[in-house]
Amino acid sequence: MQIRQNKIYIQEFKTAVYWVVQNIDDFDLLKRSVNSSLYKKYVKDRQVGNVEVDPDIKTEYDNQEKFLKNSVNTLKKRLEKESQVHKEDNLSIMNDNIKLIDMINKLRNEVTDLEI
């Protein structure tokens, strides 16, 4: 009897998840459907027991968090540095283009003067 009830409960949950996932493209609608269809029915009234976290797991979590924060900071610094280099390269190219345009204009004027 208990197995049958559990199977029915699991099937109802799968069905609810299926209908919630139909709103995956619209964040606000997805959020509302998760709250109304899943959270209120399957989570809200459940008692959460006190679970002690294994110290090794906590340490590993802290290490991973520290690593990821360092990675993010390193990537931000690299992005900033590369953006600056890119900006300098673009400025250099623009200045070269200005010089070349000036040279072209001078040459056009010389050609015009020679044709007259």
Contact 2, 16 (CB under 8 A): no
DSSP class per residue in 4-70 = HHHHHHHHHHHHHHHHHHTTTT-HHHHHHHIIIIIIIIIITTPPPPP-PPPHHHHHHHHHHHHHHHH
Structure tokens given for 38? 């899943």
pLDDT along the chain (116 residues), means of 10: 89 89 88 83 71 87 96 97 97 97 96 86
Give the start-to-end residue ranges of the domains of the chain. 1-44, 70-116
One-letter amino acid for residue 82 of the chain:
E
Q: What is the per-residue pLDDT across 55-85, written as a single tens digit (0 to 9) for each?
A: 899 999 999 999 999 999 999 999 999 999 9
Task: Tell me how far apart the alpha carbons of residues 83 and 70 are, in angstroms, rounded to a whole number.
Answer: 20
Structure tokens given for 1? 């009897």
Q: What integer pLDDT is reported at residue 48 of this predicted model?
A: 64
